[in-house]
Amino acid sequence: MVNRTDPKSNAPIMMLSAGNGFIMQSVKYSRDNAGQSLKKYILLKQGELAYNHGASKAKQFGCCYELTEPEARIPYVYHCFKVSDTEYTPFVAATLNNPKMDKQLKRLVSSSVRMDGLLNISFDDYMSVSLHLPSFAEQKKIADFLKKLDERITAQEMLVASLKKYKRGVTNAIFNRKLIFSSEDSPYPQWEEKYIGDICKIQTGKSNTQDETSQGIYPFYVRSPIVRKSNRYLLDCEAVLTVGDGVGTGKVFHYVQGRFDLHQRVYAMTDFKMVSGKYFYYYFAHFFYDRVMRMTAKTSVDSVRYEMIDRMTILVPCKEEQQKIVCFLDRIEKKIKNAEEELNLLEKNKSGFLQQIFIRRAAARRLSADQLGMQEGFPAQRFVYQRSEERMIFLTVFSSQEHYI
């Protein structure tokens, strides 16, 4: 067990995020909120591991990561330990974070989640989990490959974020008339200001969540970014949709053409006059969140009322200029979609690789970047994994004497 403390240390205050590993506490909470408990924070050193036994959507039974910074002060509720020199720490960390560990961890949960949100998994309980480990050399090969894959995923995430930031910037410039499209013959006429209620029909759906059918033939838009399925359709038209309440209020938008079903708390704007549906989609999605926040500032629950949409103003250029704006933003949207699809593929490849690599096999197995469906440009290394000497080891040996079984 690692439980060292140093109240005089100036090491950064960090915490464990299920999706991102060690992050600065100030990033999560906009400030360091350790308070008086800081003197009890554990001083973790580079290469040591911490297990956060807090349940989350991403990691139902907590997460475990290796510290790659020189040192950090972390919450004392984490279970901290060091891997023995006979094992490769990054591989052990990857193994402990594999979803296949959930079955063992689930058996260790003695009761429901505590008041502080932590699972009742003690340090000794966590040290009792068993791992299947290949030789040190093989552990290093696998972990190094996963590191390269993670670096590629991180780079792709940065590309997606950069494209989205660029889109927000140019969209804001266009609709605030700082980026102006021009005609070859003469300037376009001035934009007109209209109420949304005057240029389209506003309605809500009639269906409920229980109307969802996994094998349905029509898209079913509910109060989330995820599109469900239904066996019936409510509308058959061009429409712009936004959720009426919940965490997606002012954040979730869909542009639809064709038949679809609609939840009773999702708004649909249809029958557009003076504007194209796609132009309306880009304008509305860019400005509506701020309007919702202003009009719900004094209420405890964010929700959309009819007049929020009906009395919202929109700037309407001529049809030709609308088309130019739509074409320009469509190109950016396509780049974002392509980048997100590549990111999803990389994450799927990693998940598939982890599932294959952590299954016990007696025979040798050959995996390559090509077999994993990696994109061109990713190192096409081939690894041969010999499973004949795989061992089962209790995690306890990492913090005490080695005992293999």
Domain boundaries, the chain: 14-134+391-398, 136-182+317-363, 192-316
Query: Using CA atoms, how far apart are residues 269 and 288, in angstroms rounded to an integer?
Result: 13
Q: Which residue has the higher pLDDT, 162 or 374?
A: 162
Query: Using CA atoms, how far apart are residues 244 and 309, in angstroms rounded to an integer?
Result: 11
All residues at 6 or more sequence positions from 355 whose CB lies less than 8 Å from its CB, including other chains: 100
144 — pLDDT class (breaks 50, 70, 90): very high
- The CATH topology of domain 136-182+317-363 is Helix Hairpins (1.10.287)
Query: Using CA atoms, how far apart are residues 395 and 87, in angstroms rounded to an integer?
Result: 11
| Per-residue model confidence (pLDDT) at position 362 | 32
Res. 365: pLDDT tops 80 = no
54 — pLDDT class (breaks 50, 70, 90): confident
Question: Are 369 and 378 within 8 A, CB to CB?
Answer: yes
14-134+391-398 CATH pick, 1.10.10, 1.25.40, 3.10.50, 3.90.220 = 3.90.220
Same fold, 14-134+391-398 and 192-316: yes
Res. 255: pLDDT tops 90 = yes
Least confident of 167-171, 352-356, 383-387, 398-402: 383-387
Res. 113: pLDDT tops 90 = no
| Per-residue model confidence (pLDDT) at position 28 | 66
The most confident of the ranges 32-46, 298-312, 326-340 is 326-340
Q: Degrees (nearest 5) of the Cα angle 360, 361, 367?
A: 105
186 — pLDDT class (breaks 50, 70, 90): confident
370 — pLDDT class (breaks 50, 70, 90): very low
Q: What is the mean pLDDT of the chain?
A: 84
Strands 253-262, 218-221: pairing kind: parallel
Q: Which residue has the higher pLDDT, 225 or 373?
A: 225
Res. 397: pLDDT tops 60 = no
Res. 263: pLDDT tops 90 = yes
CA atoms lying within 13 Å on the CB side of residue 158? 6
Percent of the chain with pLDDT over 70: 83
- Tell me the mean pLDDT in the region 19-26: 87
Question: Are 175 and 287 within 8 A, CB to CB?
Answer: yes
Closest to 78 measured CA to CA, from 112, 106, 107, 37: 37
Alpha carbon of 8 to those of 11, 12, 15, 169, 197: distances in Å?
Answer: 9, 12, 19, 44, 62
Q: pTM score > 0.95 for this model?
A: no
82 — pLDDT class (breaks 50, 70, 90): very high
291 — pLDDT class (breaks 50, 70, 90): very high
192-316 CATH pick, 3.40.50.720, 3.90.220.20, 3.40.50.300, 3.40.640.10 = 3.90.220.20
